[in-house]
Structure 1
Amino acid sequence: MTDDHHPVSADDILATLTPERQARIRARGAELIAEEFALRDLRRAEEITQATVAERLGGRQVYVSRLEKRADMKLSTLRAYVRAIGGDLQLLVTFPEGRTVRLKDIGAAVPRVRRSPARKIKTAE
């Protein structure tokens, strides 16, 4: 008895579809991945409570709860959260031709330069 079945890759199947359909499938795949790895899910996977994260961040549990629900936040905040659960944040940029570049030092704390309030200079009269 012969086996006439040959494995087919997902890329082979996608190649048979129109570019528009491929784009829709890839976009939906990206959505599913984003949904799967929400901050809350990462924290839970590490078996860490919001209270523990809050303690590590120097804040309160309610702050962590709000943070996990945010759709948009500063990279420095995200980096601090990820470090609090034991991870390391890395950012990748993927270009249309498939080239991927890792950004470094993005979201790292940058010291702020405080300016002295402008002083009025008295002029001699």
Structure 2
Amino acid sequence: MLLTIRLSEIRKLVNKTQVDLANSMGIKQPTVAGMEKTGADIKLSSLKKYIEACGAHLKVDIELPDGSHHQFSL
């Protein structure tokens, strides 16, 4: 999954450091830094863990060709 959003902005909104997230996720700080790089290609499961470590919940919105939207939580 290629990201164009800045995960670091989300982290800063909840007043967390990369070290805080790394500790919550059970990974090392450089791994968090890699996830936060613009254009990073990360797994959906890793994104979910990151968002949850921020104290938030991840939802996916799918727009079908007819314009209808379907959303689900992960």
Residues in 1 aligned to 2:73 and 2:57: alpha-carbon distance in whole angstroms: 12
Structure with bigger gyration radius = 1
Which residue of the partner structure matches residue 36 of structure 2? 68
Report the 3-state secondary structure (helix = DSSP H, G, I; strand = E; otherwise coil) of the residue aligned with 1:102.
Answer: strand
Deviations 1:58-94 (A, max 9, x none): 1111111011115221110000000001110000101
**Relative contact order (alpha carbons < 8 A, sep ≥ 6): 1 or 2 greater?**
2
Equivalence map 1:80-119=2 (5 Å)? 80-105=49-74
Aligned-pair Cα RMSD in Å:
1.8
The number of equivalent residue pairs is 71
Structure 1: which 4+ aligned runs deviate by more than 2 Å? 95-98
Identity value in percent: 31
Where does the alignment leave 5 or more consecutive residues of structure 1 unmatched?
A: 1-33, 106-125
Correspondence for 2:8 among 25, 31, 40 = 40
TM-score (norm 2): 0.82
TM-score, scaled relative to structure 1: 0.51
Structure having the higher strand fraction is 2
